[in-house]
Amino acid sequence: MLSSYCSHSLSQRPVLAPLFKFRVPSRPHSFSLDQSSRIFQPIPKLSNKNWKISCFRHEGFSPENPKSEHIEHFLSEELVQPEFKKPSAGRRDWKSTLQEAADAGLGAVGSRWTVPWTAETILQVMLLWVAAFWFIGSWMIPFAAHMSGFSKESLTFRGQALFSLVTDVTEGLAGIAILHRCLSRFHPLPSDWFKFNLRGKWLFDVVLGCLMFPVVNRLSQFNLSLLPLMPCTPATLSSVEQSILARDPVAMALYAVVVSVCAPVWEEIVFRGFLLPSLTKYMPVWCAILVSSVAFALAHFNVQRMLPLIFLGMVMGVIFARSRNLLSSMLLHSLWNGFVFLDLMR
């Protein structure tokens, strides 16, 4: 229908020049125009597609302006199509650039682990660890102290520091025992599980992680402004703070071992060594880093410290995922706890 209309409209167009040979006075040679000849030989033959598009675009033109319609027929396809192609090409370039940047960022955290167990084992390990943590710290060690004829409150600063060290070591050993028992049927484990390696460039990542400490500190202040302590909550000092105020060097050294050695070792084994890689069976690495960081923050049972702990867990998760080395996240964890401990001593 479109082509027939074009033929009809073309038949009724005014004749621009007679279809006979004529000579241009200013040129020594002649050329002819007829139905079988080409117009301006250097211009390639127009396709049917171009002809139909031209007819469609100018079918509403009045015969009073035939010149513009006649000239439009000689526009090549290269002169018409770029106005439609350029915006789409720009969008493709913009999307491809973002995609390349995202792939580079996600590729920096490494690939997924080979996980031989299922979600049931992951849930079993974490529930047993939480139960052991609560039972040992709240019941077993206090009951053992009571059976020995003393309580934590009656101890000196050094005795309380030793009490905390024994509790922390017992909880760590219990967590490692749970991991060994639940994962024993999957031995031997893949080579990238629970690696401790002094070689590699992971120290550079640890240094970069230390540059995030001011951000963690600012998040801690922001979290406290969002969720401040209730006015009715009594302001009590922990045993660590009491030992620091008393300036007992032995107690302070014991607490330094607890916060800078014991806690980073067993917490990193559980959250970065086991939980984070296990989650990569069901989600991307970056998502596993986020979920394990939230679990790490929840395990501290402190709402006023949720945001900084989540961010710190993500930083340690990225460093561990890049290096596949638990020493990197343990060292960064230890440095952060040491930074907090030294800040309390000021």
22 bridge partner residues = 31
Are 25 and 152 within one domain? Answer: no
In angstroms, the CA 41 to CA 63 distance is: 27
- CA-to-CA distance for 188 and 147, rounded, in angstroms? 41
CA angle 16, 19, 21 (to 5 degrees): 115
Mean pLDDT for the chain overall: 77
Distance of alpha carbon 119 from the chain centroid = 23
Supply 126's token pair. Answer: 């974490």
pLDDT in tens, 36-90: 444 444 444 444 444 444 444 444 444 445 444 444 444 444 444 444 455 555 6
Whether residues 199 and 304 fall in one domain: yes
Which of 75 and 229 is assigned the larger pLDDT? 229
Does residue 88 fall inside a structural domain?
A: no
State which of 79, 110, 138 marks the end of a domain: 79
The residue type of 70 is H
C-beta separation of 142 from 151 below 8 A? yes
Task: Count the neighbouring beta carbons within 10 Å of the beta carbon of residue 164.
Answer: 24
Q: How confident is the model at residue 6 (pLDDT cuts 50, 70, 90)?
A: very low
Tokens of 138: 């709240």
**Is 87 inside a domain boundary?**
no
How many Cβ atoms from other residues are within 10 Å of residue 149's Cβ? 7
Ranges 113-122, 190-199, 326-335: which has the least confidence: 190-199
In this prediction, residue 230 carries a pLDDT of: 60
Find which of 30-34, 104-108, 334-338 is predicted with most confidence, using mean pLDDT: 334-338
195 shares a domain with 59:
no
* pLDDT, position 99: 62
Is the pLDDT at 280 greater than 70? The verdict is yes
Residues 69, 136 within the same domain: no
Q: Are residue 197 and residue 278 in the same domain, yes or no? A: yes
Task: DSSP for 298-331, please give it.
Answer: HTTT-GGGHHHHHHHHHHHHHHHHHH--HHHHHH
The residue among 79, 106, 136 that closes a domain is: 79
Q: Interior CA angle at 84 toward 100 and 88, to 5°?
A: 15
Same domain, yes or no: 11 and 139: no
Residue partners of 68: CB distance under 8 A and separation at least 6? 58, 61
In a domain, 105, yes or no: no
Q: Point out the least confidently predicted range of 5-9, 98-102, 269-273.
A: 5-9
Residue 24 lies in a domain: yes
Nearest to 325 by CA among 197, 145, 159: 197
Residue 103 inside a domain? The answer is no
Tell me what pLDDT residue 240 has: 77
More confident residue, 22 or 284: 284
pLDDT at 246: 79
141 in Cβ contact with 164 (< 8 Å): no
Q: Which one, of 124, 273, 258, 116, lies nearest residue 187 by Cα?
A: 116
In a domain? residue 89: no
- How many domains does the chain fold into? 2
Q: Name the token pair of 31.
A: 């050329």
**Same domain flag for 220 and 129:** yes
Domain boundary among 61, 79, 97: 79
Residue 131 sits in the same domain as residue 73 = no
Greatest distance between any 2 Cα atoms in the chain: 127
In a domain, 84, yes or no: no
Tell me, yes or no, whether 260 and 128 share the same domain: yes
Cα 208 to Cα 62, 294, 304, 315: the distances in Å are 72, 22, 26, 9
Indicate if 73 and 188 belong to the same structural domain.
Answer: no
How much of the chain, in percent, has pLDDT values that exceed 90? Answer: 49
Q: Which domain holds residue 56?
A: 2-79
In a domain, 104, yes or no: no
User: Global pTM?
Assistant: 0.68
pLDDT of residue 70: 46
Do 148 and 246 reside in the same domain of the chain?
yes
Quick one: pLDDT at residue 207? 95
Same domain (yes/no): 62, 152:
no
